[in-house]
Amino acid sequence: MNQAYTRCTDGDKPASAEPPQNRPTPSAILVRGMPQILHGAPVQAKILQDLKPRIQRLDRPPGLAVVLVGHDPASQIYVRSKIKACRELGIHSDSHELPANVTTEELLTLVHVLNERPGIDGILVQMPLPKHVDSRRVLEAVAADKDADGFHPTNVGYLVAGRPAPRSCTPAGIIELLKFYEIQIAGRNAVVLGRSDIVGKPMALMLLHENATVTICHSKTENLPEMCRRADLLVAAIGRAAFVTADFISPGATVIDVGINRITDPAEAARLGRAEEYAIKGKVVVGDVHPVDVVHAAGSYTPVPGGVGPLTIAMLMSNTVELAERHLETASHLESPKGAR
Ligand code: NDP
């Protein structure tokens, strides 16, 4: 159980044992002591700060090529944020915007050009791609040594083997967050809810490498709340708004919420305790974890927004710098006369 769990409980009953009408209201929780909120911003700031001297030591700026297909507003926002992060750090970014009707072959041609382009250390193809495009072929066409997202099968293989390689950004950021807040991973029961290639599976592997005892749950898992309640460390990555309620959370557990779900129904926003925010913005973003229940049940948790979100871009920058370091190191070895080093 997390050391930061200072909540004074009435008999330490699991949250699920209390009928809803007996659950403490958020104001009652304030009186009893709040769980630790694991904000992403200070972790992001530290990751980026640590990259600056590494970038300054390089002979040229690291380069990231970003490929955006179509006009999906969310993808456009993500790409803009990534380019802004590059600019602020002194990473060269090369943006390629293609129409929604681009073919798989045209995308592959662009990826091959970028694979060969000197000065480009990392390539990112913003997902999702339009349905008619073969996303897998495109992702696998990115050279493994320019795979800024850590999605290439070679790099996934390295992750399985525990060898250094670009790692999928969101789970890698979660490991950084847990370390930043000194949350114990080794020896704890970790449950990863979701088994996607970009979050759930790499998350489970990274937790395993940190010596957690890992269980992966998915849509076919039976007794899901019970399985999740076994977790000291629960990572929810399923893309279902507020799906993880109090009866999924062991009292005092650390809960990491990866989900990003936009709520546009005012009644739903009110049910999730976000009525005021909805009244101002006309929409709210919630995670996969119920935002009120987590405060009641968890010992520490990442908020949505403001938890995991900021870490994904920070880890993209980290992967890009690491790739640039390797490229420049290889180039200097090739240039040096034999034995001169
Ligand atoms: P996917 O849709 O690729 O995968 C969802 C996973 O959740 C699948 O493994 C699926 O199981 C499982 N799942 C879906 N419904 C249920 C259910 N009712 N019960 C149990 N398991 C279920 O999603 P991603 O992994 O790409 O993303 C998950 C969430 O994280 C999304 O909200 C996404 O927006 C967010 N995200 C946030 C990021 C960030 O930077 N903060 C980055 C990436 C994602 P099955 O395999 O059996 O179908």
Q: Where are the domains of the chain?
A: 59-145, 168-310
Which is the catalytic residue, given 149, 232, 247, 293?
A: 149
Ligand 1 atom showing the smallest separation from residue 200 Cα:
25
Q: Do domains 59-145 and 168-310 have the same CATH topology?
A: yes
Residues with CB under 6 A from ligand 1: 170, 194-196, 198-200, 218-220, 224, 237-240, 258-261, 308-309, 312
Strands 284-286 and 261-263, by their bridges, are: antiparallel
What tens-digit pLDDT sequence spans the chain (341 residues)? Answer: 444 433 333 333 333 334 444 444 444 444 446 899 999 999 999 999 999 999 999 999 999 999 999 999 999 999 999 999 999 999 999 999 999 999 999 999 999 999 999 999 999 999 999 999 999 999 999 999 999 999 999 999 999 999 999 999 999 999 999 999 999 999 999 999 999 999 999 999 999 999 999 999 999 999 999 999 999 999 999 999 999 999 999 999 999 999 999 999 999 999 999 999 999 999 999 999 999 999 999 999 999 999 999 999 999 999 999 999 999 999 888 887 654 54
Nearest residue (by CA) to ligand 1, atom 18, is: 219
Residues in the chain: 341
Give the distance from CA 317 to its chain's centroid: 13
Whether residue 247 lies in the annotated active site? no
Integer CA distances (angstroms), 12 to 16, 17, 24, 31, 94, in order: 11, 10, 13, 16, 54
Return the pLDDT at 27: 41
Which numeric CATH code is attached to 59-145? 3.40.50.10860
Ligand 1 atom at minimal distance to the Cα of residue 308: 41
* Interacting residues of 152 by C-beta distance below 8 A, sequence separation 6+: 139, 140, 142, 143, 144, 166
Amino acid (1-letter code) at residue 37: I
**pLDDT for res 20:** 41
Give the model confidence (pLDDT) of 194-229 as tens digits. 999 999 999 999 999 999 999 999 999 999 999 999
Q: In terms of CATH, what superfamily is 168-310?
A: NAD(P)-binding Rossmann-like Domain (3.40.50.720)
Residue with tokens 């630790």: 36
The pLDDT, as a whole number, for residue 17 is 37
pLDDT at 338: 59
Residues ≥6 apart with Cβ < 8 Å to 145: 323, 326, 327
Ligand 1 atom with minimal separation from the 218 CA: 21
If 0-12 CB within 10 Å is exposed, 13-18 middle and 19+ buried, where does residue 36 land?
middle
Active site residue 126: yes
Q: How far apart are CA 209 and CA 95, in angstroms?
A: 35
Lookup: tokens for 150: 């850590």
Q: Quote the tokens at residue 5.
A: 């769990």
Instruction: Identify the helix (H) or strand (E) that includes residue 235.
Output: strand 233-236
Residues 147, 124: Cα–Cα separation, whole Å:
7
The whole-number pLDDT of residue 334 equals 80
- Residue identified by tokens 């943006």 is 95
Q: What's the pTM? A: 0.90
Q: What are 261's strand-pairing partners?
A: 286
CA atoms within 13 A on the CB side of 49: 6
